[in-house]
Each structure stands twice: as C-alpha cells, then as structure tokens.
Amino acid sequence: MTKQIIKMTVNGEVQEVIAEPRELLIYVLREKLGMTGPHVGCETSHCGACTVDIDGKSVKSCTMFAAQAQGAEITTIEGLGSPDALHVLQESFKEHHGLQCGYCTPGMITRAHRLLEENPDPTEEDVRIGMAGNICRCTGYQNIVKSILSAAAEMNASKEAAQ
Amino acid sequence: MNVNSTVIGKPISRVDGRLKTTGAARYAADHRPVEGRPLHAVLVKSSIASGRITGFDLSALQSMSGFVRFVSHLDGALIRTIKNPVDGAFAAGEEYTPFENDRVHFVGQHIGLVVAQTLEVAEAAAKAVVVDYETSAARIEFADPTAEVRQPDLYNTGEELQVSRGHVEAGLVEAVEIVKATYTTPIEHHNPIEPSATLAVWDGDHLTIYDATQGSVNDKNYVAFGMSVDPKNVRVLNPFIGGGFGCKGFTWPHTLIAAAAARAVEQPVLLVLSRKDMYTSCGHRPYTEQEVTLAADADGVLTATRHRTQSYRSLVGDHVEPCGMTTAMLYQCDNLEVTHSVRVLNRPSGTPLRSPGEAPGTFALESAMDELAEKLGMDPVDLRRRNHTDIDQRNGRKWSSKHLLECYDRGAEKIGWGRRKAPGQWRDGNDLVGLGMATACYPGYRMPTQTRLTLDRDGTLHVGVAVQDIGTGLYTVLAQMVAERFGTSPENVRVLIGDSDLPPGPLAGGSMTTASVAAAVDDGCRALSEKLRARLVDMGHTPGNEPLVIDGGALRSGPLSVPAAEVIPTDVHEIVAEGGSDDTYGFTGGVETDKSFYSFGAIFAEVRIDRDFGIIRVPKMTGVFDVGRVINAKTARSQMLGGMTFGIGMALMEETFIDDKTGRFVNPSLGEYYVPVNADVNEFDVEMLDIPDYDFNPFGARGLGEISNVGASAAIANAVYNATGIRVRHLPIRLDDLLEDLPR
Ligand code: FES
Ligand code: FES
C-alpha cells in the first residue's frame, strides 16, 4: 500500500510519520511515536482505553485512521502531566483511588479532561453520562466519579482565585 | 501486631498511582525489546468445532510486503508436548500442547500464527490464510445425549466435588416445607480491559517474556517446559497487569506460541490478543444448571439440602464450575448431598472467573433460601440466622474467626431492612421497589511464599517477591507490611514484584496473595531484624529488647540510634535477608489444623423497577464483610466496590451466547457483551468488620478480592422478587423476564 507522510502535533511537538492508509491512529501513536499511555482494550470503540484528544474533542483512536489526523493537534495522557508533575486530574485519581489495574486510566483521565473543558462544573450525573464511553472493569466507577468531581472543584477554585 | 498501627489499615494512596495516572506504567504490550522493534503476531484460529486440519493455503501471503513467517503444527516440534495439565511445576489452562497435531477441538482454537513487520500486515495475512479441514461430528449443544458425562472427584484445590452426609430422603420426610427448583447461570467472560499479551525476547537460549499473567512463576515453569529450556533461563516480567479476574491465572497456549515463534524467527515477537481472541483463548465461566432442594421444619431449621450442578468442560480443559462447594459448608444441615457433573463438549475451555463456583452457586443456594423463607413465612435474614453454625459442616472444625451474624445485623440496619414489604406491595411513583439479601462467603487460601528483605545505606528498605499486582493494590500493601514491622512509613519501602527472578510466590488467584505474602514478609522482616541486631552487636552496640525501628536513615532500638550508612559495611552496599513460609492452607496437603478458614459477608440490595417498561435499577447496595484485618482501607474498599459492580453485571447484564450449530460465540465484543458502565451504578455502602484472624497469618488478613462478587446476584434476584412477586431463576435478569407479569 502507498505510504504517505502524516504531519501532526502531538503533545505540543510537531511529528512527521510515514504510514500506510490502513494504519490506525492508535497504532501510529503507540508503535511509531512510542506513546504507550493510550491502550487498546476492544478495537471496536466501546471501552475508551485508547481515548486521546484531537482538536478539542475526545476521540477513540482505535477507530480513526492515522491519515485522518493529518494536520491535527493531538493530546495524549503523556501530554497532561508526568509522574513528577501531575495534572490536577491525575493527582485526584491517585488520591481518590480512581483506579485499580490502571489500564483504563489514561483514557479515563484524557476523557475527563475534555469533559471538564466542555462542562467545568458538572453534576454527578453529568459525569456519569459524560464518561459513559469509558469502561472500567475493576473499580465499580464510584471513585472515578469522585476523582473527577473533586478535580473539577479544585480547578474551579484555583480559577476563581486567579480572577 | 500493633493494633494502633499508623500504617496497617490506613487509607494510604496507592504507591503506583503516579505511574498509572500518567501512562508511565508499562503493561505487557507497552514494553519494547532493548534493541529495535518487535515483530507483530496475529493468531489464526479454527473455524470448525471438531475435525482435523488437512492443509493451509498460504499463497496470498507470500506477496505481502512485510510478511515474515507463518507457524503451525506443520513446523514440527516447536513446542514440547505437555502431557499433564498440572505437571507439578505449573498449571496450564488446557491440557493440550498448541500445534501438537492437526486436531481441532473447538471453534477459536489456536492453529497458526502469522508474524509480520507491522500489526496491519499481520492482520491482513492472518485473514488471508486459507485453512482446509476435514470436519467430524461435534457435540456442542448442552443437552447433546451423545456427550460423555463425567463426575469428577476433586476441584483443582483438592476439595471434594461429590459430598454426601446423613440421609437426604429422611430429612425430606421430616420437613414441613420443601423448595425444589432449577437455577441456571450463563456463559460469562472475564473481559479485563487489558487483553492478554506476550512479548517474547530470546537471547541465545535465554528467554525474557513480558506477559499479561496473574502468575509469573507458573508462567516461567510452563514456558520453560514447553521450550525445553532450564527454568533458570526463563524470566517472566509482569510489573503491571490490566486486570485478569482469572483469565490470566493459568498459562494459556498463546504465551507458549509467542515464545516458540520468536525462537523460530530469531527476533522478538509481540502477540497481543484481540478482544475477539480473548473469548476463546483463555477461558470463560461455563453455563451451569443447578437443581437445589432445601427442606425445613416449621421453625425453619434445615432438615435436608441437595445441590446438583451440571456444567460442561471442553475436550482439552478440565475446569469444573464448583457451584456446590459453598452449599456443603455454609449452613447447619446433617442431611446433605452435593454433586457435580460435566458434559464433555466441543466448546472452548472454561476456567475460574472471579469466585468460581461461589458466584453462580450462591445465586442458586441463596435464591432457594429466599424461596424457602417465603414458604415458611419467615424473614429471609432470620432463616439464615436460624441455620447459622460455628462449625465447618464439611469436617466438623471450628471456624478460625467467623462474624457472619454481625454482618447480617449491620447490613440490615444500613439498608433499612425494616422498610421491606410483602412481594409486589411497595410502590413509589411509577416504580416497584424491593429489598433482597444473600450471604457471601469465600475460602481462605494461603500458598508457600518466599521474600527477600534488604536494607540499603540510605536506610531504605526493599522487599522482593515474585507475586503480582493485578490491580488490587499489592504494591501498597507490601510497603505497609514492611513499614509496620520496622516502625517506619511506607514511603521508606521499595517494593519489587512482577518478576519471576525474585523469590517465588503464588499466582494472583483465590484471593490468596495478601495472606500468603503476610506470612512471608513477617518471616523476612524477622530474618532481617536478626541480621541487623547481630551486626549492631558486632559493632559493639547493645541493642535492647525493643523492636528495631528503621526510620530517617537510621536504625533505632530503645535509646540506641545508628545511621544505616554505618551499619552497612562499605563494601556491600546493603544487608540482605531471606525469609518465607512453606505453609499451605485451604488446599489439600496443607497444614494440619483444627480450624477452618473462610471469609464471610452479607449483601443487601434495593431494586427499583419501572412498572411500564420493566427496567431494573439498583439504586442501593450494602455489603458488610468479615475478611479479617484490613491492611489498606482504600484499596480494600475499592476491591469491594468493584466486586459488587461485577455482581450487578452478573445479575443484570452479562451473558455470552453460543451458537449450538457451529459452536461459535455469537457476541465476542464489548459492544455485544454488556458490562456495567458508569451510568449503571450508584454509591454502594461497604463496611468491613476488620477483625484480625491471626490463626491464618501474622497480619490477620484474609482474602477479599472475590467475596465481594459472591451473593450479589442472589441479593438482586431476591430483591426483584420482593419488588414484583416474579421469581426469575436464571441470570442475567432482563426486563423481558418481567414485562408480561409485572403487577400493574
Ligand atoms: S480500544 Fe478504542 S475504544 Fe476500546
Ligand atoms: S482500573 Fe482496571 S479497568 Fe479500570
């Protein structure tokens, strides 16, 4: 198959990769760019483990061709924070125990991040519905909801303080 | 044990939280060989249920750029024949050797592997392999009259599967009320969000495997045997596992196939199972049909109990779903019969799935108890209290620590059991409301475990053991145990697990890891402490009898305080001690004791059912558990929440369908196999009594990963009955089971 050059910005860095038209975005991110934070859980857009942020939207990267990301601005979990400098949401998931095995967590946090951009002050129900596309088999979700609500409160408080 | 510990029982945040929230934790498929990229592999699976392979047509593959190799049984002895499923040194999920011959036993059996430069090419090539078969008659249907029926004597723990005591017929005559009913539970799949994956890297005759496994030591021994290499030359790494729930417990063919392929192509090979592969590659919970008979006198005292389970096994896997094991031990009853039979079918193999036996078995037993209470006009909680016993009914031993009555009391109070009304009588707006409950229990298991304890010159403690954290929180729990013994903070302890080169420990199954490491860590800490004291004496100090504290870079005992850097000779960098325990509990051949070990609990559920549409919601669930000492309040509570959610899935959603004609699973994807999502669950109320069981291990903990999933489906089914007056004796319970008969 004819390969093409795909140019995209990933976590603030411009990247150029050569990929076949049939290569999925998740594959290019994981295998060609070494971003193994987003995981593959289902390949059918149901579990959300592969969620990344593309041009301001949550996208399941197992269901998108890399070629469709030409020129896109992509954020993965690696772009939100690092072990030494956690994002508020990451800190909150850690403290409220919003994870067990952690396999769903990168997708969960990446989706939660976008959810809070869309709706900075969600109710519990908003969170449960807004996160409905991300499956966790371990935790039973309660602590995930708590983590997101607490991060939202903290982010809003620091926004207010800044004003 | 310091009951006022500042460490044990505290809600300490997981020590791996930073790695897991940032994508920095590496799971099996995230690892890369030190040099270069691995080749990608995709399985070719059988599309027939019975027969033999007569040939492969690979003509379409040769022209594919990036295609590297196809391996199958035609490649000769890639894998050494494994005769025995449990060959002493290891437990395999199936008792056949992959690629051994041309035989096909079920749809989805691994019959070949494509290796290619990229995943896309491997997938395309795997699709392009044309397999020629000669099919033979397959037995797929559960009721196939020609299927062989077996009555196995023992479960894999060594427990009896055919139990009889007293005279059931005599007990039936004594009774005033008898319930006799058949309950069924469906095929269910584990569906951890991480699919199984293996990265196999050879270096000469040394093999390193990054594997999504619940048991690195078991994996190592199995692969070493299959590859005909010394187990010393195989290292299995599994620092992070994306859940397992049993399907990564025993080692399955794909791990061996990946290792064999990597050796054949002389390059690292990464094999990641697809979600669809997962349905036929690493087990499932088989369908069960359970006939339960309960008989009681006018006071509700059980006079006879009978629990007959029929299930199936594959031709190559010997899993039996042991539904009646709970029935044999739980309630006081002198006349009892428990039987298990399996039909041998051309279906994929079963395997333990979170609380094997207990989860489907208590659905039947605890539903039948509810039916009996109804017939007797008794409160269901009272009926259970009436038949409560402090003696293990199987062997007459006393329970080491049993506080089930307290679980009933606390649970009833918390859910507001007093609000319960007669079936179908509680309405709230358009909802029918009901309450139901069930008893939960799960055996206490413990396996031999060794540990290595190390103190370095910074005063940091290290603990190493070849166990694994499948999500439970073991990294944190181990740090807490060591911190407790040396009077320090868990931050002062580095935990090394997930590596088969470490001192051996058991696989993560049977909720036994915490209890197993507890004894080993206790002994390892004792050994290190003795070494350090001897060293202090050598240095001319006189440590007192006070416990040795290691904190702030120094060793302290009473008034004595010596910097770690001085205690440790400059030429060694660290002081190492090994310790462990060879004791086994809960399995045959274990330690002789006069006690029996089990965890107990009570689950209460409130359901609300839409009167017009029959939609079932579970707004409230309360679980009160007696699981020994809780080591970490946060991780333990999270296990319980997750287990109860698993229970909701089992009660209301989860089912794998099989096509009886072809032997194919019909819904092998997360789109068609429903698991609970965020919007399906509400806040649960979880309480743990936190009563230590020091007879079981020096930290007093019993397992808790599985018990939370036991009883939940019966509690919900019983609540559905209470809300509607409709008794559903199969799982999952769906709105179409209710619609026709809903009280209007
Ligand atoms: S892997 Fe993309 S949604 Fe599951
Ligand atoms: S933490 Fe395991 S899937 Fe969510």
Contacts of B684 in chain A (CB under 8 A): 140, 142
Quickly state the pLDDT bin for A152 (edges 50, 70, 90).
very high
Domain that includes residue B47, residue range: 28-137+191-281
Q: Which whole number is the average pLDDT over B390-405?
A: 95
- Stretch (H or E) spanning B474: helix B474-485
Distance A139 CA to ligand 2 centre (A): 6
Query: Does CATH place domain A88-162 in 3.40.190.10?
Result: no
- Residue that is last in its domain, among B554, B581, B608: B581
Cβ atoms within 10 Å of B673's Cβ, excluding its own: 23
Give yes or no: residues B405 and B490 share one domain: no
B5 in a structural domain? no
Please tell me the distance in Å from B470's CA to the nearest CA on chain A.
6
Flag whether B420 is in a domain: yes
Which residue from A28, A30, A39, A42 has its CB within 8 A of the most atoms of ligand 1, so it is best to mutate? A42
Name the A residues in 114-133 with CB < 8 Å from any B CB.
Answer: 127-129, 131-132
> Are B505 and B638 contained in the same domain?
no
Q: Whole-angstrom Cα distance, residue A143 to residue A126? A: 15
Ligand nearest to the CA of B645: 2
pLDDT, residue B88, reads 64
pLDDT digits (tens, 9 = 90+) for B503-556: 999 999 999 999 999 999 999 999 999 999 999 999 999 998 889 999 999 999
CA distances from B180 to B290, B388, B728 (A): 10, 21, 14
Give yes or no for residue B164 having a pLDDT over 90. yes
Task: Verify whether the Cβ–Cβ distance B642 to A138 is below 8 Å.
Answer: yes
Longest dimension (CA), chain A: 55
Find the largest Cα–Cα distance for chain B: 86
Q: Answer whether B732's CB lies under 8 Å from B653's CB.
A: yes
Residue B21 Cα, ligand 2 centroid: separation in angstroms? 11
The pocket around ligand 1, CB under 6 angstroms, is made up of A 40-43, 45-50, 60, 62
For ligand 2, the distance from its centroid to the CA atom of residue B488, given in whole angstroms, is 30
Atom of ligand 2 nearest to the CA of A137: 3
Within this chain, do residues B429 and B452 fall inside the same structural domain, yes or no? no
Element holding B306 (H helix, E strand):
strand B302-313
Nearest in space to B720 (alpha carbons), one of B740, B698, B742, B688:
B742
Smallest Cα distance from B23 to chain A, Å: 4
Q: How many C-beta neighbours within 10 Å does residue B645 have?
A: 28
| Closest chain A CA to residue B644 | A140
How does strand B684-688 pair with strand B616-626? parallel
Tell me, yes or no, whether B259 lies in a domain. yes
What are the pLDDT digits (tens) for B606-637?
999 999 999 999 999 999 999 999 999 999 99
Distance from C-alpha of A106 to C-alpha of B24, rounded to nearest angstrom: 9
**In chain B, what residues touch A41 (CB-CB under 8 Å)?**
193-195, 242, 275, 670
What are B584-604's pLDDT values in tens digits?
998 877 888 999 999 999 999
Claim to verify: residue B654 and residue B532 sit in the same structural domain? no
| Angle, CA of A95, B509 and B439, to the nearest 5° | 80
Which pair of tokens denotes residue B363? 């659905």
| ipTM of the complex model | 0.97
* pLDDT for residue B1: 44
A110-127 mean pLDDT: 97
Instruction: Say if B665 falls within a structural domain.
Output: yes
Nearest Cα to Cα of residue B107 among B347, B325, B278: B347
CB of residue B300 inside a 6 A radius of ligand 2: no
Same-domain status, B630 and B515: no
Pairing of strands A73-75, A4-10: parallel
Min Cα distance B535 → chain A (Å) is: 37
Instruction: Give the model's pLDDT for residue B86.
Output: 54
DSSP state of B248: T
Q: What is the pLDDT of residue B3?
A: 52
Question: Is the same domain home to B458 and B430?
Answer: no
* Residue B79 placed within a domain: yes
Binding site membership of A137 for ligand 2 (Cβ less than 6 Å) = yes
What's the pLDDT at B82?
Answer: 80
Listed in sequence order, the residues at least 6 apart from B320 whose beta carbon sits closer than 8 Å to its beta carbon are B152, B155, B161, B311, B313, B340, B342, B350
| Closest atom of ligand 1 to CA, residue A48 | 3
Q: What is the pLDDT of residues B5-46, one digit of tens each?
A: 889 999 999 999 999 999 999 999 999 987 778 999 999 999
Locate the ligand 1 atom nearest the alpha carbon of residue A50 and give its number.
2
Residue-wise pLDDT for A28-84, tens only, equals 999 999 999 999 999 999 999 999 999 999 999 999 999 999 999 999 999 999 999
Separation CA A32–CA A61 (nearest Å): 14
Mean pLDDT value across residues B175-201: 98
Query: Rounded to whole angstroms, what are the CA distances from B610 to B566, B653, B716, B720, B735?
Result: 72, 17, 15, 11, 9
Cα separation of A74 and B8, whole Å? Answer: 43
For residues B250 and B256, what is the distance between their CA atoms, to the nearest angstrom?
12
Answer yes or no: do B540 and B573 share one domain. Answer: yes
Look at residue A111 in the predicted model and tell me its pLDDT. 98
Task: State residue B84's pLDDT score.
Answer: 61
| Res B2 pLDDT > 90 | no
Task: Please report, for the domain that includes residue B216, its CATH number.
Answer: 3.30.365.10
User: Which residue stretches of B589-685 are H helix?
Assistant: 633-652
B638 contacts A143? CB cut-off 8 A: yes
Residue where a domain stops, chosen among B256, B281, B306: B281
A20–B contact, CB cutoff 8 A? yes
User: For tokens 């190493």, what's the residue?
Assistant: B464
Q: Which of A158, A61, B616, A111 is CA-nearest to residue A145?
A: A111
Alpha-carbon gap, residue B346 to B324, rounded angstroms: 25
- For residue B181, is it within any domain? no
DSSP state of B32: -
Residue A63 forms contact with B (CB below 8 Å): no
To the nearest whole angstrom, how far is the Cα of A26 from the nearest Cα of chain B? 11
Task: Say if residue B424 is in the same domain as residue B454.
Answer: no
* A104 Cβ below 6 A of ligand 2: yes
User: Any CB–CB contact under 8 A between A18 and chain B?
Assistant: no
Alpha-carbon separation of residue B250 from B189, B213, B232 (angstroms): 15, 8, 20
Integer Cα distance of B93 and B256 in angstroms: 12
Query: Are residue B415 and residue B553 in the same domain, yes or no?
Result: no
pLDDT in tens, B660-671: 999 999 999 999
User: Are B556 and B603 in a shared domain?
Assistant: no
Is residue B415 scored above 50 in pLDDT? yes
Per the structure, the count of domains in chain B is: 3
Looking at per-residue confidence, does B643 or B590 come out higher? B643
On the question of pLDDT at B118 being above 90, the answer is yes
Domain contains B20: no
Residue B441 bridge partners (DSSP): B600
- Burial class of residue A161, CB neighbours in 10 A (0-12, 13-18, 19+): exposed
How remote is the C-alpha of A159 from its chain's centroid? 22
Mean pLDDT of B482-487: 97
Q: What confidence tens digit (pLDDT) does each residue in B345-358 have? A: 999 999 999 999 99
Residue B704 inside a domain? The answer is yes
Q: Give the residue among A49, A129, A142 at the shortest CA–CA distance from B641.
A: A142
pLDDT at res. B590:
87
CA pair distance B184, B713, nearest whole angstrom: 12
Task: Tell me the DSSP string of chain A.
Answer: ---EEEEEEETTEEEEEEE-TT-BHHHIIIIIS---SS--S-SSSSS-TTEEEETTEEEEGGGSBGGGGTT-EEE-GGGT-BTTB--HHHHHHHHTT--SS-SSHHHHHHHHHHHHHH-SS--HHHHHHHTTT---SSS-SHHHHHHHHHHHHHHHHHHHHH-
How far apart are the CA of A138 and the centre of ligand 2, in A? Answer: 5
* CA gap B29, A137 in Å, rounded: 19
Kindly determine whether residue A23 and residue B678, on different chains, have CB atoms separated by under 8 Å. no
Judgement on whether residues B272 and B384 belong to the same structural domain of the protein: no
Q: How many CB atoms lie within 10 A of CB B203?
A: 11
**Where are any strands of DSSP class E within B539-596?**
549-551, 554-557, 560-563, 574-581, 595-596
Residue B77 has pLDDT above 80, yes or no: yes
Contact B22 A77 (CB under 8 A): yes
Average pLDDT value over all residues in chain B: 96
Please, what is the Cα angle at B701 between B624 and B713, to 5 degrees? 35
Distance CA B613, CA B368 (A): 27
Question: Tokens in use for A41?
Answer: 């859980």
Contact B315, B344 (CB under 8 A): yes
Distance of CA A104 to the CA centre of its chain: 10
Tell if the CB–CB gap between A99 and B14 is shorter than 8 Å.
Answer: yes
Establish whether B100 is a catalytic residue. no
Measure the CA–CA gap between A61 and A29, rounded to whole angstroms.
9
Pull the structure tokens for residue B478: 């181990």
Q: What is the mean pLDDT of residues B683-704?
A: 95
| Chain A residue numbers touching B241 (CB-CB < 8 A) | 101
The rounded mean pLDDT for chain A is 96
Looking at the fold, whether B676 and B608 belong to one and the same domain comes out as yes
Distance between CA atoms of residues B649 and B673, nearest Å: 10
For the domain A4-79, what is the CATH superfamily, name and number? Beta-grasp domain (3.10.20.30)
Contact list, B240 vs chain A (CB under 8 Å): 101-102
Q: Is B38:B269 a contact under the CB 8 Å cutoff? A: yes
Chain B residue whose CA is closest to A87? B22
- The CA distance from A68 to A72, in Å, is 8
Q: Where are the domains of chain A?
A: 4-79, 88-162
Task: Please say which residue of B237, B257, B281 terminates a domain.
Answer: B281
